[in-house]
Structure 1
Amino acid sequence: MDMPNWQIFKRGRQATPASPSAAGRSDAEAQELQLLRGVQRGRMSDFEALYRLYHPRLQRFVLHLTRQADLVDEILDDTLLVVWQRADRFDGSSKLSTWIFGIAYRKSLKALSRLDLPQEDPQQDEQADPSPGPEQQLGHAQRLGRLKAALGELSADHRAVIELCYFHDMSHAEIAQVVGCPPETVKTRMFYARRRLRSLVAELYDGPAVE
């Protein structure tokens, strides 16, 4: 198939429709699968439509995962090029969104590895977390900036599970498919990330961590 012209899609991405409600998700997923079938047949118009649906979601995910704004466009282009070239490899064993986010996750980690940035060990702490999540402790929108600053201190693996869970509404099983690990590992990473967030927020803003 011919290579897609990214600039055409980027100029039109502001027209991306709003995210569907929970009630309309099944219809939205069916529409996405129909577009993918068109991509498998080499239809550029269907790829353009799929691009516009996924670009805003992937952009947020990749930016929050990497914390490297200058890498985002490259990673998104690499991700969507895989979707274009390897659409026939989607076997339907997961949601299409899970498959595409998984590609973006791997491309992001590969880009970060080239920067040789220090990473925390995502396998620390093997317990379940019984305490409230950081989103409950931080409160409402006026304190969201504090959470974002703390998220920047986490490893990419820990940011990924927080981002996919709280901002993309994925279950532990879906997150496990995206990041390529068992669901129990997702739970472990979630526990460590949430505990670390509480500690970081307390350290950054002189407030006591709630246990």
Structure 2
Amino acid sequence: MVRTKEQLLDEYLVAAARTGDRKAFELLARRWQGKLIAHAWRLTGDVDLAREAAQEGWIEIVRGVGRLRDERAFPAWACQIVSRRCARRIGRLQRDRILKAAAAAEPVEAFAEPEHSDAPAMTRLRAALADLPPEQRAAIGLFYLEDMEVAEVAIALHVPAGTVKTRLMHARRKLRAVLEGDAR
């Protein structure tokens, strides 16, 4: 598999952070903060919960990066940590019966609109993504927006690869129906 420049940079930053290079870790955190918040949002549907879960995830990432042996595993490993933090927060909210409905729209920073975008189609796509169940929204986000492979998404979401494939299939079907104007 050919690695992109961004992936190679992340791998270098992880390796440097493991040796105690603070600047490398700070740059790694800047590069991944938005991605981890977007991932947490896809799981929780709440921007504030997402930010809190990502922040808690960074504490665990800081403590554990020295034990990470494969730099290429960082994206899936970091997303898995944030996924666990999200699950804990949601569990607490459910136990307290305070869990509210998921937010209706994807955060703006998760989707950068191209200069020549079809605005109505983009609006329909955002609405369709927001309507997906959180599990499908998370799988779509990690696979397409974070460019992870199915195996990496499976690790990040702590589910089998077959489950990721199924979630992607159902999500694609729903998105296709909305974008083709045949929403059911």
Length-normalised TM-score, structure 2: 0.72
2:83 is aligned with 1:105: yes
1:118 CA drift (Å):
8.6
CA shift digits 1:36-75 (9 cap, x unpaired): 3343344433321211111122222222332201112211
* Distance in 2 between residues matched to 1:28 and 1:151, nearest whole Å: 26
Distance in 1 (alpha carbons) for counterparts of 2:28 and 2:171: 32
CA contact (8 A) 2:42 2:137 kept: yes
1:67-82 aligned at under 5 Å gives the runs 67-82=45-60
Whole-angstrom distance in 2 between the partners of 1:30 and 1:177: 20
Q: Which runs of 5+ in 1 are unaligned?
A: 1-22, 120-138
1:176 maps to 154
1:79 offset after TM fit, Å? 1.2
Greater gyration radius: 1
In the TM superposition, residue 144 of structure 1 has moved relative to its aligned partner by: 1.9
Deviation of the 1:92 alpha carbon? 1.2
Write the distance in 2 (CA, Å) between the matches of 1:96 and 1:178. 10
Residue of 80, 83, 107 corresponding to 2:61:
83
Shift of 1:159: 0.9
User: Is the contact between residue 172 and residue 187 of structure 1 (CA under 8 Å) also seen in structure 2?
Assistant: yes
Normalised to the residue count of structure 1, the TM-score between the two structures is: 0.64
CA offset at residue 140 of structure 1?
4.1
Structure-2 separation of matches of 1:159 and 1:104? 15
AA aligned to 1:95 is A
Q: Percent identity?
A: 31
Q: CA deviation at 1:33?
A: 3.2
Q: Distance in 2 between matches of 1:103 and 1:141?
A: 35
How far residue 113 of structure 1 moved from its aligned partner, in angstroms, is: 2.5
Indicate if the aligned counterparts of 1:151 and 1:197 stay in contact, CA closer than 8 A: yes
Aligned ranges 1:24-63 → 2 under 5 Å: 25=4, 27-63=5-41
Aligned equivalent of 1:208: 182
Whole-angstrom distance in 2 between the partners of 1:172 and 1:182: 9
Whole-angstrom CA distance in 2 between matches of 1:111 and 1:62 = 11
The root-mean-square deviation of aligned C-alpha atoms, in Å, is 3.2
